[in-house]
Amino acid sequence: MPGRALSFGTIAEAYERYRPGYPAQLFDLVMAYADRQIRTALEIGAGTGKATRVLAQWGVAVTATDPDQAMLTELRKHVPPSVTAVRAAFEDLRPGETYGLVYAAAALHWTEPEGRWPRVAALLEPGGVFACFGGPVHLADPAVAEAVHAARAPFLASDDVPSPDGTPPGHPLQWPGRELRRSAWFTDVRQSVIDRTLTMSGREYVDHLSTVSAYLVLPAKQREQVFRRILRVLPERVELTADITVHLARRCDDGEELSGPDRPDGS
């Protein structure tokens, strides 16, 4: 997984061009859940800033972190000057300043599981909000999806990122929902889904695949071959499902009793 996590910097401009952004509806959802003014936010794995710029429009002072300098260079082209960009992996962030919101857009699964939730909680103000959102982009037509699967099969069995805790796709509570509910650090865990469909040309879809980590870690010649094979079986236009699964949770207030497997005193 680490190789896939750090594979995006070589295609930062393509990532910005071909990855879909985030709708304002998503941030309406976050702000309604917070039910108070959020002045500061920390973003985990900001990439090229697709989520950053939407949140910054709310007047929130965002600190956008990412371990890849090329991604941050691209991010700076698209975000307002009020955004602070910091080159750092989530695991390298040290407690100190706290934020009203800590969030990750299609990035949390790349972080190390050990100590993840205490580390997030340490970055949040008491009662602060954690938000995690993202979701796969899939071909809507089953016949087209099957043709693409067959085309890539000699090189790649699947291009999905597996659930970090093994939660199956059809489970009513997706990752990281169950982990958050078991955590002593968070309360009021909620999951929502924003339905979204996209339409693009077959060529644009292959361009999108060129930013997906499963393809990026293939040897260059194999990557070129699989893209040619996929393009041959695609219709001129394709419809995609790109639903966004949103998880929201609130850091427990200092006065709340904490119990559970990641209790801060280790018990």
CATH of the domain at 55: 3.40.50.150
Query: What is the number of domains present in the chain?
Result: 1
pTM value?
A: 0.91
- What are the strands of the beta sheet with 186-194, ordered from one edge? 84-87, 61-66, 40-44, 99-105, 124-134, 244-251, 186-194
Determine contact, residues 34/101, Cβ cutoff 8 Å.
yes
pLDDT at 169: 86
The answer to whether residue 179 sits within a structural domain is: yes
The answer to whether residue 264 sits within a structural domain is: no
User: What pairing do the DSSP bridges indicate for beta strands 40-44 and 99-105?
Assistant: parallel
The answer to whether residue 47 sits within a structural domain is: yes
The answer to whether residue 192 sits within a structural domain is: yes
Q: Which range marks the domain in which residue 87 is found?
A: 2-137+166-198+242-251
The answer to whether residue 132 sits within a structural domain is: yes
The answer to whether residue 226 sits within a structural domain is: no
Q: Each residue's pLDDT tens digit in the chain (267 positions)?
A: 454 444 565 799 999 999 999 999 999 999 999 999 999 999 999 999 999 999 998 899 999 999 999 999 999 999 999 999 999 999 999 888 999 999 999 999 999 999 999 999 999 999 999 999 999 999 999 999 999 999 999 999 999 988 999 999 889 999 999 999 999 999 999 999 999 999 999 999 999 999 999 999 999 999 999 999 999 999 999 999 999 999 999 999 754 434 344 443 332
The answer to whether residue 229 sits within a structural domain is: no
The answer to whether residue 234 sits within a structural domain is: no
pLDDT at 121: 97
Distance separating alpha carbons of residues 104 and 213, to the nearest angstrom: 17
pLDDT at 66: 97
